[in-house]
Amino acid sequence: MSDDDDLVFKALADPTRRALLDRLFVRDGQTLTELESELAMTRFGVMKHLRLLEDAGLVVTRRQGREKLHFLNPVPIRSIHDRWIDKYTEHHTATLLDLKAELERDDPKEKP
């Protein structure tokens, strides 16, 4: 069944952790204290979340003196995609999303 991805899905299930990935997607290599300052949560909470992201392989780290730098790793995300997106229908799915994005751009916040 290939579910060693369990850590990845569990890690992605929390909005705070997804926000952390978003921050790293914008600017890679941030420290714990930098990330904490944007997140309305104590340092300990952020640390726990980063730990889970690291265990899942979604974030890789490098020590630099007393600092620990965090980097986003996109590989596990790509694996999720490949699990349920058939090569032959991939183009069709991407096209649907493009259409959705275009509709939302044309009619912003429309309430039917």
Among residues 37, 45, 55, 77, the one that binds its own copies under rule CB under 8 A: 77
- Tell me how many residues contact its own copies (CB under 8 A): 34
> Is 47 one of the binding residues for DNA (CB under 7 A)?
yes
67 vs 98, which CB is nearer to its own copies?
A: 98
| Contact between residue 62 and residue 71 where contact means Cβ atoms under 8 Å apart | yes
Among residues 18, 29, 57, 68, the one that binds DNA under rule CB under 7 A: 68
- The rounded distance, in Å, linking the Cα atoms of 88 and 86 is 5
- The rounded distance, in Å, linking the Cα atoms of 28 and 94 is 27
